[in-house]
Amino acid sequence: MQNQLKTAIIQTDLVWEDAKANRKNFEQKFEELPSDIDLIILPEMFTTAFTMNAEAVAETMDGKSVAWMKNHAMQLDTALMGSLIIKENDKFYNRMIFAFPDGYIVTYDKSHTFSLAGEDKVFEAGKEKVIIDYKGWKLCPLICYDLRFPVWSRNTAEYDVVIYVANWPKPRIAAWDALLKARAIENMSYAVGVNRIGIDDKQNEYCGHSAVYDVLGNNITPIRPNKDQIETVTLEKKHITYYREKLKFLNDKDTFTIM
């Protein structure tokens, strides 16, 4: 078990529907990272931005971007995660890819597709929650709109960190801030949110507000809004253990089954 998890958040602009350009941008940012990073987190749809033009830009699990993630995870000796558009069995998924340092892949498909933008009409909704065991840490990967659904996010698996990657627009950023903090407090876990910046081709504006909240709801990341920024933060297992044993809030959680 590793008691610390050194995590890098990359908050940046995305090039519309241009996977090659986006991969190049992230490659340049990888060069700025220290060598002892355990986990790198990229935004939602980091290869294309939040487009519904899935037929034109979707890749497969054997495509260039998944291979790119595996290769860079191995080269950097770190885990690398972010979501992209995947086509599988003639269906499209907003899929989180988690590449381990040895190139092994775990995936999570976004459960709550964003009906306001028509995502539900293009993408298949995921049906399974995923918990990733990595270096003695339990990580719960979720995607953007999932943040608004506390039952789906509920810590029934004793995870240590819940991670949201997003293209969350500026007009609703107050909700992002409030809900991300709430998910940390109610689940007594770290809550990590990685959001993009910039303006996409649909004229949606994004202002970042990427953050890491500890189990008490304190924002422990000095990430500035609207800034192209890489931030590293060290998560501490003893912080989680201390407050869970002291406060015991999760012992009183409701028992339920998602149908």
76/92 Cα distance (integer angstroms) = 29
Q: Spot the catalytic one: 44, 59, 119, 231.
A: 44
182 contact partners, CB below 8 Å, separation of at least 6: 150, 217
**Catalytic (active site) residue 44:** yes
**Catalytic (active site) residue 140:** no
- Any alpha helices (H) in the chain, and if so which ranges? 19-30, 54-57, 64-76, 119-122, 150-153, 173-187, 237-247
Q: Spot the catalytic one: 29, 59, 119, 144.
A: 144
Left if phi > 0, otherwise alpha if psi is -120 to 50, otherwise beta: which for 237? alpha
Q: Spot the catalytic one: 29, 70, 110, 170.
A: 110
DSSP states of 78-101 as a string? SEEEEEEEEEETTEEEEEEEEE-T
**Catalytic (active site) residue 207:** no
Active site residues: 44, 110, 144
